[in-house]
């Protein structure tokens, strides 16, 4: 028995799934300002009359971290930043106190200039004087060698509630993003941990022993204890839940386009061979670019309630929503009015919808029906041209080998999965515009909760091995170990997969559900003069994202 | 995040799966640490900096510039077409107005590749900038262009290609050819009869540092550019003047390279040589990018940078001052020098031996420039290699008059296949190539 809960903007959805079958659901309005209370209320409702000892896991998608950032209810953070040579670092000053220190580690992870512990002592004094409880320490190239970050943390001491070290958040190279990610992580640490404490306490009281997992922006989950260390990963899990829900309801192994058409916006997602496409670097929140892996999604200002008008004898839709559709008492015509006028949907005042179409049609010399159909066709065309533009960008992402440039894989959707209010009625129009088969789920009311329930643990790591220096580093796990000079790419693959599997199982993942894979690998001969002195090996491995099992519908 | 003052297009194509040979300096690893540095700096997140993939250059693009012997397909690999395509893509982004400036970090380099190509010399098979520039002129019309070769080695390939072209000013400063490959690049190499004075070499003494190179820039290169008024400035951006380069003996720094690009203000830079792949390239490339984007580069320095140790001697400073004076006065007096050296000659011949160090081929060639009052005139190359080829190549230049177009085709028609293994004709006016 798996429990899935998703906290949306207005409601909380819940679902219990047993052997792929939905056995109970709940949908409750959320109480303002009380995230824990709202979630616990929904969970209690969901678990009423259920045998809680049968729960294998609870997957929770919560806005607690997102809200803290967006509503600016974060903890002030003291930042210690080591920029080394390169871009000047002023723009990195994101904390309430920012101390830039000397010392430097280069691209191969060599310490070029040592830390000055006096600088850290001074930072510590400053942070204490300013009453800061959270800190973040980030050094350039800490994913290659995190010893400075570890030393700084040790020098800052135990007096702070929390200290985030940059290298623990991601193995990717991008110093500014690492700084911002570490800042945000430290800034929301308290908020998330208060929330997690409340949940744990309530679960003990209710005698629920099941492990709790938190949904992440990449559509996977992480065990609560990990989320407590890295709450940044739990931001923006809402769109991920909806995306995973749609995937569970309409499973595919192909390249696919996913559209969530709402009242105000249309959200665009992609699957490559049925696996979610991610943002290339990480998600952006409140204008902070982070290293947090997230599902690629683009939102366009076009939905059922977008305003429709005629400009220069052309129908224009969106990007603004002026209010409800005209047929529902709103100020101006909308695509929904077009659907009502055509009799595709049966709500609202059809007479008003018809009148709205007529007034537009008169300018264009078109009948009511022609006008309504044109509006829907134009809406589909607008989505199509946006999708084409995105696909061009995705398929032109920078590549670094001759092989990839000449024979690289291109994303080409074979089908479209639709979700959202007008899906059923727009499906034929979208099908025509794209020339691709279109599917939509019959019932999607609790898709987000299903998405949360069906999500499985994800994790990706970057392993760097330098056989000349005889060192192997995996920043995310804080692993730095000696290797032999004969260490090969094959050894690196094996070590990366082993580390991932051990960690996943230790965190309560079901070994059967874990599928690991190598997603990137390189091995370069390092040459000094005319002699090969070693190999520089880089391997990226991940637990394959996707759904835990199949849903029986 | 920060915003670039000049929008900048970057083609970064390290070709991680291509090498001349496993331990050759031009190998897979060459741009690895540059990639690490650029990624770690978060360059792709800077507003106004855009990354592009290379396109793949066509055979036509190569034939427009080179006589590949026996043909393009036998001399080139995909990586050469991609390196040229990367530069074309970068330049195109500038010409279309998508970005203000562009930097193509592609490999292998190209500035040693001359018009005739029997193989690889100085790690170059085709001249990436020339292929780019001639494609550009084909697409966007005639342009007055200055190529500033900042590589430590003399850009003898680019010199050869634009030797007789007044619309392409070529300036190369480099370590003196008496102490470094390819052994050319002296003041007397001043251009062909139709472009005498438009090929400028500044051979620098070993140990030249930031001070010397920036002196040359400010006292020779920039004043000449001010006189010449090019539509486009190209930086043939080698990075081997760096003090850590294993193949050269200069003392230039990453900060110096950044200042150089800031002052030179090129429209496009194309990576050439530079083989200190750990100690120099990551910082030099970063410096060039920041300078071109108009961003603060004061934080760009090598981890082992030591200002005192890298100072050039006073003797060097004096030598460079005198040299600069001489080079600039030759430029100012180029018409008088033309009258003394060239005027009245119907034909100018250039006889040379060209060594392909990478492939171990020796070539003997005679270039013949036929003077014309109306245009740059037809020129021919009679060349043989120790690989058994003996070729005859005719070029009708872009500005050729009707008479010279006719003359070029006539020479081609009359050349007897019995005398040569291959005969080629480049008709640049009609952008066609022939071979027999």
Residues 500-529 of chain A with CB under 8 A from chain B are: 522, 524-527, 529
| Stretch 217-276 of chain B: residues touching chain A, C-beta under 8 Å | 246
Residues of B in contact with A524 (CB under 8 A): 16, 28-29, 32
Q: Using the beta-carbon criterion (under 8 Å), do B37 and A86 form an inter-chain contact? A: yes
B34 CA to chain A: closest CA distance, Å?
9
Burial of A184 per CB tally in 10 Å (0-12, 13-18, 19+): buried
Q: Which two tokens stand for residue B6?
A: 């000049």
Mean pLDDT of chain A: 93
The predicted pLDDT at position A380 comes to 96
Q: Is B299 close to A401, i.e. CB distance below 8 A?
A: no
DSSP A163: E
Lowest average pLDDT, out of A282-296, A457-471, B18-32, B36-50, goes to: B18-32
Q: Is A150 on the interface with B (CB under 8 A)?
A: no
Q: Do B23 and A177 touch (CB under 8 A)?
A: no
Distance CA A113, CA B320 (A): 35
Q: Tell me whether A108 touches chain B (CB under 8 Å).
A: yes
- For B324, phi then psi, to 5°, come to -60, -40
Cβ–Cβ contact B122 with A under 8 A:
no
Residue-wise pLDDT for A19-41, tens only, equals 999 999 998 888 777 888 888 99
Q: In the structure, what pLDDT confidence band is assigned to residue A528 with cuts at 50, 70 and 90?
A: confident
Instruction: Specify whether the CB–CB gap between A224 and A214 falls below 8 A.
Output: yes
* Tokens (6 digits) for A172: 């990717």
Alpha-carbon distance of A348 to A341, in angstroms, equals 10
Q: Which two tokens stand for residue A143?
A: 């994913």
Asked if residue B243 lies in contact with residue B268, where contact means CB atoms within 8 angstroms, the answer is no
Nearest-CA distance from B197 to chain A in Å?
A: 39
Residue with tokens 């409880």: A133
A2-7 and A57-61: which strand pairing? parallel
Best CA proximity match to A324, nearest among A362, A353, A364: A353
How many CA atoms does the CB half-sphere of A471 hold within 13 Å? 14
Tokens representing A41? 């209320």
The burial class, CB within 10 Å (0-12 / 13-18 / 19+), for A271 is buried
Verify whether the Cβ–Cβ distance B295 to A106 is below 8 Å.
no
Count Cβ neighbours within 10 Å for each residue of B69-86 and write b for 16 or more, e otherwise: beebeebbeebbbbbbbb
- Which of B27, B39, B52 is the closest to A174 by Cβ? B39
Residues of B with active-site annotation: 112
pLDDT at residue B213, as a whole number: 96
B217 secondary structure, DSSP code: I
Which residues of B fall within a CB distance of 8 Å from A398? 12, 51-53
In A, minimum Cα distance to B287 occurs at: A86
Residue A299 three-state SS: strand
Give the three-state DSSP class for B2: coil
pLDDT band with cut points at 50, 70 and 90 for residue A239: confident
Reduced to 3 states (helix: H, G, I; strand: E, B; else coil), residue A258 is strand
Chain B residues closer than 8 Å to A530 by CB:
23
- Dist CA A359 CA A362 (whole Å): 5
- All residues of chain B having their beta carbon less than 8 Å from the beta carbon of residue A531 are 23
Quote the CA–CA distance of B107 and B117 in Å, as a whole number: 18
ipTM of the complex: 0.93
Question: What is the rounded average pLDDT of the residues A441-452?
Answer: 88
Helix (H/G/I), strand (E/B), else coil: A252: coil
| Average pLDDT estimate for A302-329 | 92
With a cut of 70, which residues of chain B have pLDDT below it?
Answer: none
Give the global pTM: 0.94
For A173-232, what is each residue's pLDDT tens digit? 999 999 999 999 999 999 999 999 999 999 999 899 999 999 999 999 999 999 999 999
pLDDT > 90? residue A145: yes
Question: Is the Cβ pair A525, B27 closer than 8 Å?
Answer: yes
Whether residue A432 is predicted with pLDDT greater than 80 in this model: the reply is yes
pLDDT at position A513 is: 73
Task: Calculate how close chain B gets to A451, using CA atoms only, in Å.
Answer: 31
* pLDDT tens digit sequence for B282-317: 999 999 999 999 999 999 999 889 999 999 999 999
* B295: CB partners within 8 A, 6+ apart: A87, B2, B4, B5, B46
Per-residue b/e over B379-405, b at no fewer than 16 CB within 10 Å? bbbbbbbeeebebbbbbbbbbbbeebb
> DSSP class of residue B221?
I
The whole-angstrom distance between A132's CA and the closest CA on chain B is 25
Paired sense of beta strands B101-106 and B3-13, if any: parallel
- Tokens 């960008």 locate to A393
Pairing of strands A438-439, A97-100: unpaired
Cβ proximity of B78 and A406 under 8 Å = yes
- Is residue A532's pLDDT more than 90? no
Query: What's residue B304's pLDDT?
Result: 87
Question: Does pLDDT of A529 surpass 80?
Answer: no
If you count residue pairs, one on A and one on B, with CB atoms under 8 Å apart, how many are there? 125
Spatial contact of B163 and B200, defined as CB atoms under 8 Å apart: no
| B52: nearest Cα among B106, B16, B122, B2 | B106
Which one of A81, A83, A87, A166 makes the best mutation probe of the B interface by having the most chain B beta carbons within 10 Å? Answer: A87
Give the position of tokens 């066709």: A377
The SS3 assignment for B418 reads: coil
Whether pLDDT at A270 is above 90:
yes
**E strand or H helix at B426, and its extent?**
strand B422-427
- What lies within 8 Å, CB to CB, of A537 at 6+ separation is A463, A464, A465, A466, A467, A487, A488, A489, A492, A521, A522, A523, A524
Residues of B in contact with A144 (CB under 8 A): 36
C-alpha torsion sign, points B228, B234, B239, B242: positive
The maximal CA–CA distance of chain A, rounded, in angstroms, is 84
Which residues 26-45 of B have a C-beta within 8 angstroms of A?
A: 27-29, 32-33, 35-37, 39-42, 44-45
Q: State whether B37 and A398 contact (CB < 8 Å).
A: no
Which ranges constitute the DSSP H helices of B146-242? Answer: 156-161, 210-216, 222-228
Residues of B in contact with A108 (CB under 8 A): 33, 278
- Which residues in chain A have their CB less than 8 angstroms from residue B52's CB? 396, 398
Which of A67, A8, A17, A19 is CA-nearest to residue A42? Answer: A8
């Amino acid at each position: 028995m798996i429990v899935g809960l998703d906290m949306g903007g207005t409601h909380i959805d819940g679902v219990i799934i047993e052997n792929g079958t939905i056995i109970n659901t709940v949908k409750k309005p959320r109480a303002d300002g009380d995230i824990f209370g709202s979630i616990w209320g929904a969970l209690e409702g969901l678990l009423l009359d259920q045998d809680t000892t049968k729960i294998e896991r609870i997957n929770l998608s919560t806005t607690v971290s997102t809200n803290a950032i967006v509503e600016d209810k974060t903890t002030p953070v003291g930042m210690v930043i080591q920029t080394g040579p390169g871009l000047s670092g002023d723009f990195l000053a994101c904390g309430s106190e920012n101390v830039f220190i000397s010392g430097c580690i280069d691209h191969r992870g060599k310490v070029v200039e040592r830390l000055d512990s006096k600088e850290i002592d001074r930072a510590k004094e400053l942070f204490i004087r300013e009453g800061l409880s959270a800190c973040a320490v980030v050094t350039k190239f800490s994913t290659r060698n995190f010893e400075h970050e570890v030393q700084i943390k040790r020098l800052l001491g135990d007096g702070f509630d929390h200290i985030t070290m940059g290298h623990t958040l991601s193995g990717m190279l991008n110093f500014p993003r690492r700084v911002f990610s570490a800042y945000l992580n430290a800034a929301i640490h308290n908020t998330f941990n208060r929330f997690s404490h409340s949940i744990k306490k309530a679960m003990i009281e209710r005698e629920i022993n099941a492990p709790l997992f938190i949904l992440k922006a990449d559509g996977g989950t992480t065990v609560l204890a990990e989320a407590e260390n890295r709450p940044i990963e739990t931001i923006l899990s809402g769109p991920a839940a909806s995306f995973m829900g749609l995937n569970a309801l309409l499973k595919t192994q192909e390249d696919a386009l996913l559209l969530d058409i709402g009242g105000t916006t249309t959200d665009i997602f992609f699957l490559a061979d049925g696996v979610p496409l991610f943002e290339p670097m990480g998600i952006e929140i409140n204008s902070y670019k982070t290293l947090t892996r997230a599902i690629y999604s683009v939102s366009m200002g076009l939905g059922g309630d977008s305003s429709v008008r005629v400009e220069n004898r052309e129908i224009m839709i969106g990007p603004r929503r002026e209010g409800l559709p005209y047929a529902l008492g709103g100020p101006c015509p909308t695509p929904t009015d077009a659907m009502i006028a055509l009799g595709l949907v049966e709500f609202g005042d059809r007479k008003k919808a018809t009148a709205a179409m007529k007034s537009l049609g008169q300018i264009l010399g078109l009948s009511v029906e022609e006008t309504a159909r044109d509006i829907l066709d134009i809406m589909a065309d607008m989505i199509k041209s946006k999708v084409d533009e995105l696909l061009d960008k995705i398929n032109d992402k920078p590549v670094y080998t001759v092989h990839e440039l000449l024979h690289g894989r291109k994303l080409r959707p074979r089908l479209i999965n639709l979700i959202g209010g007008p899906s059923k009625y727009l499906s034929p129009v979208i099908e025509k515009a794209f020339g691709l088969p279109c599917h939509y789920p019959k019932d999607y009311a609790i898709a987000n909760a299903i998405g949360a329930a069906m999500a499985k643990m994800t994790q990706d790591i970057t392993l760097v091995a330098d056989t000349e220096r005889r060192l192997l580093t995996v920043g995310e796990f804080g692993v730095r170990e000696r290797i032999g000079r004969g260490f090969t790419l094959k050894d690196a693959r094996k070590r990366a997969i082993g580390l991932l599997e051990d960690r996943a199982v230790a965190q309560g993942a079901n070994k059967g559900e874990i599928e690991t894979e190598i997603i990137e690998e390189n091995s370069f001969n390092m040459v000094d003069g005319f002699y090969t002195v070693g190999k520089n090996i880089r391997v990226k491995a991940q637990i394959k994202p996707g759904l835990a099992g199949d849903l029986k519908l | 995040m920060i915003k670039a003052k000049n929008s900048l297009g970057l083609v970064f194509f390290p070709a991680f799966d291509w090498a001349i040979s496993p331990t050759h300096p031009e190998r897979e690893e060459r741009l690895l640490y540059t990639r690490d540095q650029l990624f770690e700096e978060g360059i792709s997140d800077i507003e106004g900096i855009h990354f592009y993939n290379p396109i793949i250059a066509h055979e036509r693009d190569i034939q427009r510039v080179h006589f590949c012997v026996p043909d393009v397909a036998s001399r080139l690999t995909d990586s050469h077409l991609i390196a040229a395509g990367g530069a074309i893509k970068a330049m195109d982004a500038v010409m279309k107005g998508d970005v203000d400036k562009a930097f193509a970090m592609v490999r292998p380099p190209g500035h040693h590749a001359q018009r005739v190509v029997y193989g690889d010399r100085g790690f170059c098979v085709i001249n990436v900038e020339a292929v780019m520039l001639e494609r550009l002129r084909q697409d966007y019309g005639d342009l007055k262009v200055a190529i500033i070769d900042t590589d430590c080695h003399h850009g003898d390939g680019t010199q050869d290609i634009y030797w007789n072209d007044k619309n392409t000013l070529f300036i190369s400063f480099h370590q003196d050819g008496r102490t470094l490959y390819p052994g050319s690049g002296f003041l007397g190499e001043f251009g062909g009869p139709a472009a005498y004075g438009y090929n400028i070499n500044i051979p620098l003494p070993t140990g030249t540092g930031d001070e010397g190179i920036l002196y040359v820039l400010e006292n020779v290169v920039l004043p000449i550019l001010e006189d010449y008024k090019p539509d486009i400035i190209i930086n043939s951006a080698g990075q081997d003047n760096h003090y850590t380069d294993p193949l050269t003996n200069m003392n230039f720094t990453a900060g110096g390279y950044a200042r150089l690009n800031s002052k030179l203000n090129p429209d496009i830079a194309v990576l050439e040589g530079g083989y200190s792949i750990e100690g120099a390239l990551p910082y030099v490339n970063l410096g060039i990018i920041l300078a071109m984007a108009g961003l603060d580069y004061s934080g760009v320095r090598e981890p082992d940078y030591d200002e005192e140790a890298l100072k050039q001697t006073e003797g060097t400073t004096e030598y460079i001052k005198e040299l600069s004076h001489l080079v600039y006065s030759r430029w100012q007096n180029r018409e008088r020098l033309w009258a003394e050296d060239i005027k009245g000659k119907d034909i100018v011949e250039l006889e040379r031996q060209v060594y392909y160090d990478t492939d171990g081929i020796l070539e003997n060639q005679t270039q013949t420039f036929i003077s014309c009052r109306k245009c740059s005139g037809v020129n021919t190359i009679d060349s043989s290699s120790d690989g058994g080829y003996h070729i005859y190549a005719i070029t009708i230049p872009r500005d050729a008059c009707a008479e010279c177009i006719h003359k070029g085709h006539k020479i081609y028609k009359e050349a007897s296949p019995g005398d040569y293994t291959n005969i080629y004709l480049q008709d640049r006016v009609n952008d066609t190539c022939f071979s027999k």
